[in-house]
Structure 1
Amino acid sequence: MTTIAKTMHAIICHAAEDYRLQEYPVATPSPGEILLRTHSVGICASDLKCYLSAPLFWGDAHRKGYCQAAGNRSIKVSLAP
């Protein structure tokens, strides 16, 4: 595995039309969890609806990631599409 970064970036919604890029510390995985490194992200229609203050939106969690660290009691499985 590669070196794990100490910080990560997140776009946080503070209010409608008030999204901010912020930096946070990278957490250590708890038992049964893994830490994924994200290669890329995108903005989709549901993100735009949230930005414009829609009452409900559905996220898109189907993003490719790379295991950076595994917590105790985690298993590593390679999945192919």
Structure 2
Amino acid sequence: MTLLVVGGNERMKRDYINLGKEKGYKTKVILNMSSKALKDFGSPNAVVMFTSTVSHKLKTVIETQAKKKNIPVIRHYNN
């Protein structure tokens, strides 16, 4: 199973990947909007989005792709 983590803290990227590996997921992390964000999306089984640290544009792009491919999006807002 693959998991895509969108947003979060740059220093925590390695922790997101390791935590996913512990749970049995191959994990990709997209922290910022870039020209390759759409290419990096791929076809994960689920998307976890930290909405407080994601730009509106990146949020829209990821949600649109997930909807097209019928992939569940788990949103988390942290203060």
Tell me the TM-score range normalised by the shorter chain: under 0.3
Larger Rg: 1
User: 1 or 2, which has the higher helix percentage?
Assistant: 2
User: 1 or 2, which has the higher strand percentage?
Assistant: 1
TM-score, with structure 2 as normaliser: 0.24
TM-score, with structure 1 as normaliser: 0.24
